[in-house]
Amino acid sequence: MEYRRSMPARDRRLPDAAGPVGQGLSALSRIAPWVWAASLLVVQVLTLRPLGFSGQGLAVTVLMVVNFGFFALRLVPERHVPHRLLLPLLTAGVVAAVAMVAVADTGTSTLFAFFLAAYIGYRLDVRPATVLAVVMSLACGIVLVTRAEAGQHGLSLMAGLSTGALVLAGMSGRSRAQAVEAALEAAESSERAAKAEARALVLTERSRVARDVHDVLAHSLSGINMQLELADALIEAGDPEQARQATAQAQSLVKESLKQAQWTVRALREESLPLVETLTAMLESSGHRQALTVTGAVRELPAQTAHNLVRIAQEALTNATRHAPGGKVTVTLAYGERTTALSILNGPATVPVSAGAGMGSGMGLIGMRERVALMNGTITTGPVASGPHQGWWKVETVIPV
């Protein structure tokens, strides 16, 4: 049987953020047991009779010290009192309190019994606390009745039986302490959950920014670098006309990068993108032989959804340029009743693939999957197995409304 349910809230370290008033109350709660102990000691020394070093006075003195020792248990942090020793110690305290009532001549000898009953109610479970309190009340009542003068037996019996009544106050104090402890634990749990959510939001935002940086910078800079390298090679080969075309294409990519940066800023500000117009502008500037087909009733999508679809299309077009240069590209945007689907198909290359074009970081596909997961959608990639576009590469994203 476990006699202590939980560590009361008064043994927990409260945060300093409670302010001056809270700190003052906390300090008062820490010194209150010491004040009670000092007051009880002074009262007992002044009122207990006889006190001395021989005979009955010696017995009263020894019992006062013993009872004060049991009272001092209140000053010991609860975690320092082993559970298995708690019931035996308090039982011994009951015996000492009853012995004090039996030996001392003054009425204040019952003070230890009152305080002990309250402490029993605070520390023990209901059943053992009730048993000890009843035993102490009956014992004190019997002792006081046997020592009472004629005509005082009823009053003495009531005084003795009342010693255990404070066990109810102790139980009430324990309930309040447990309620405070539960509130503190709930607050700490809520704070931990809020911190975990904040960390998750930060990580999500970092992933989002990383995807946008990859989509804007990696794509644009790699395309510009390819055109500039081509222009340099053409100049060395003595073909200035083609070199100028490559340079013009690099300038076009710079302008496109600025547009992409604007789209990214708008997305980060949660501003909605006109999806059809944005895809059209992207395809016009990509240099592919392509066509955009829109089916269904066009509707405005949430800002983040439209932004993610644009980025997925951009990644698919970049991969088409890298792996199948010169191939035809078709983009289909289908607005259904319950879904929005974006499909990008690219045909086989019509010009030689440059060395190293197949080497990528792999972050593009990862970014597409992350974006689709954020929208609770699905994405499929791979070659078309049949139909007029057999052998083409397909990237299809389906997002629920």
Quote the pLDDT of residue 9: 43
Question: How high does pLDDT run on average in the chain?
Answer: 82
Is the predicted pLDDT of residue 282 greater than 90, yes or no? no
Q: Which of 266, 282, 381 is nearest to 323 (CA)?
A: 381
Q: Which of 350, 193, 392 is nearest to 381 (CA)?
A: 392
Binned at pLDDT 50, 70 and 90, residue 3 comes out as very low
Quote the pLDDT of residue 119: 94
How confident is the model over 74-78, as a mean pLDDT? Answer: 85
Q: The pTM is what?
A: 0.49
Quote the pLDDT of residue 340: 95
Q: What is the pLDDT of residues 28-38, one digit of tens each?
A: 667 877 888 88
CA 329, CA 93: separation in Å to the nearest integer? 91
Is the predicted pLDDT of residue 73 greater than 50, yes or no? yes
Contact yes or no for 47/106 (Cβ under 8 A): yes
**DSSP state for residue 126 in the 8-state scheme:** H
How confident is the model over 162-188, as a mean pLDDT? Answer: 92
Residue tagged 């405005």 (tokens): 300
Is the predicted pLDDT of residue 287 greater than 70, yes or no? no
Q: What is the pLDDT of residues 220-270, one digit of tens each?
A: 777 788 888 888 888 888 888 888 888 888 887 787 777 666 666 665 555
CA 310, CA 160: separation in Å to the nearest integer? 86
Would you list the DSSP string of 246-274? HHHHHHHHHHHHHHHHHHHHHHHTTPPP-
Tell me the CATH number for domain 272-401: 3.30.565.10
Q: Which of 3, 30, 171 is nearest to 88 (CA)?
A: 3
Q: Which of 136-150, 181-195, 341-355 has the lowest mean pLDDT?
A: 341-355
Distance, first Cα to last Cα, the chain: 58
Quote the pLDDT of residue 15: 45
Quote the pLDDT of residue 262: 67
Is the predicted pLDDT of residue 298 greater than 80, yes or no? yes
Quote the pLDDT of residue 61: 94
Quote the pLDDT of residue 393: 92
Is the predicted pLDDT of residue 2 greater than 50, yes or no? no
Q: Where is pLDDT greater, at 217 or 125?
A: 125
Torsion angle, CA of 363/366/370/372, rounded to 10 degrees?
A: 120
Binned at pLDDT 50, 70 and 90, residue 13 comes out as very low
Quote the pLDDT of residue 33: 77
Kindly calculate the radius of gyration of the chain based on its CA atoms and give it in whole angstroms.
42
Residue span(s) of the chain under CATH 3.30.565.10 come to 272-401
